Amino acid sequence: MGSLRAILSHPDDFYPLLKLKMAARHAEKQIPPEPHWGFCYSMLHKVSRSFALVIQQLTPELRNAVCIFYLVLRALDTVEDDTSIETDIKVPILNAFHRHIYNPDWHFSCGTKHYKVLMDEFHHVSTAFLELAKGYQEAIEDITKRMGAGMAKFICKEVETVDDYDEYCHYVAGLVGLGLSKLFHASKLEDLASDSLSNSMGLFLQKTNIIRDYLEDINEIPKSRMFWPREIWNKYADKLEDFKYEKNSVKAVQCLNDLVTNALNHVEDCLIYMSNLRDLSIFRFCAIPQIMAIGTLALCYNNVEVFRGVVKMRRGLTAKIIDRTKTVADVYGAFFDFSVMLKAKVNNNDPNAAKTLSRIEAIQKTCKESGLLNKRNLYVVRSEPMFNPAVIVILFSLICIILAIELLRTGV
């Protein structure tokens, strides 16, 4: 019923949602027959359905390389995230992970649910990795080695300063950006992007996830792991967990807004990176997550619900972004629209209001100066008419089908 209500509230979401559902089913049917590749693509769908959809659009050779890159780093991340593993066991595994990917006999049991299966049957990932071209293998090994070392460093080190925050995000996500740029270049489809732009692509996504996942991370069992920098949160509370409690809501939201403003520092670099891409499939692969990130920040900003549960974009809007992100104009348009949403939520009494507004206005200026805002297909703020006749007919037909099925099921 909730999904139907959402569609009725946003009828223009229906067609993109239908296309997304069909694309997901098609992607699942394209899983390779070889056991190791079948495992890898099946696992990809289980640990990240949205990522699996955008990766399916890449050319076959690059698709395989990115799939394995993602699963290797997801496995590395599973080791880091498992707070039940003792430090003296975890650190050596992180530091040596780049060598384990060459060994089809290696596995390490940790994590839960799908992640445990990934770790228990990691030999499939290693077998597939060994079939990649040497250029792809070298890029994946290099990034895995650097990321593992960085993760090991922060197992024994808290995120104290903003510089620590940027360094941690570089290790766990900026390096992903560097690695993907290397894979794109190895495919001969793109020029090699600069490290600084590639790093910003990763930092923007990672900071968004860290902001959004406050409650999940602080409630982690057996012990919490948090990456909000003390230099920022200590301005608003004595302990990071204080933000969970309703009595601290005002200060919690002020800290949240401070962190969102910090994340916005990476937007211009991301826009430059995406503007330089030539291959359409690579462009969409990069652009869709970035639009989702700026949209998530717009939802999280000034929103106390970040400290009460999960704040995420409605599925219909996600489907629309996936369906309509096809050009650089669509990216600039989406970033502009979400910046408008952000600006409308800024409270002048917020201690960082002036800094936040300055960042938003700089982003909007960049989007306007691109000259592309009137050439886009994707609109976030200015939606299509609510009662498009064709959409209403489709919705009415769908409701009739659902009711007919329900009547047959109940025998009425």
Q: Which of 25, 49, 99, 225 is catalytic?
A: 225
Q: How many CA atoms lie within 13 A of 253 on its CB side?
A: 18
Check if 285 is active-site: yes
User: Measured between alpha carbons, how far is 175 from 6 in angstroms, rounded to an integer?
Assistant: 37
The CA distances from residue 400 to 20, 265, 394, 403, 407, in Å, are 22, 49, 10, 5, 10
Q: Which of 136, 285, 335, 336 is catalytic?
A: 285
User: Measured between alpha carbons, how far is 30 from 45 in angstroms, rounded to an integer?
Assistant: 11
Check if 212 is active-site: yes
User: Measured between alpha carbons, how far is 94 from 240 in angstroms, rounded to an integer?
Assistant: 27
CB 193 within 8 A of CB 179: no
Cβ atoms within 10 Å, residue 23: 17
Q: Which of 41, 165, 168, 184 is catalytic?
A: 168
Enter the DSSP assignment of 174. Answer: I
Check if 396 is active-site: no
Q: Which of 63, 74, 212, 284 is catalytic?
A: 212
Instruction: Note if the bond before 222 is cis, omega within 30 degrees.
Output: yes
Helices and strands, counts by H and E, the chain: 21, 0
Beta strands in 145-202 (DSSP E): none
Check if 129 is active-site: no
Active site residues: 168, 212, 225, 285
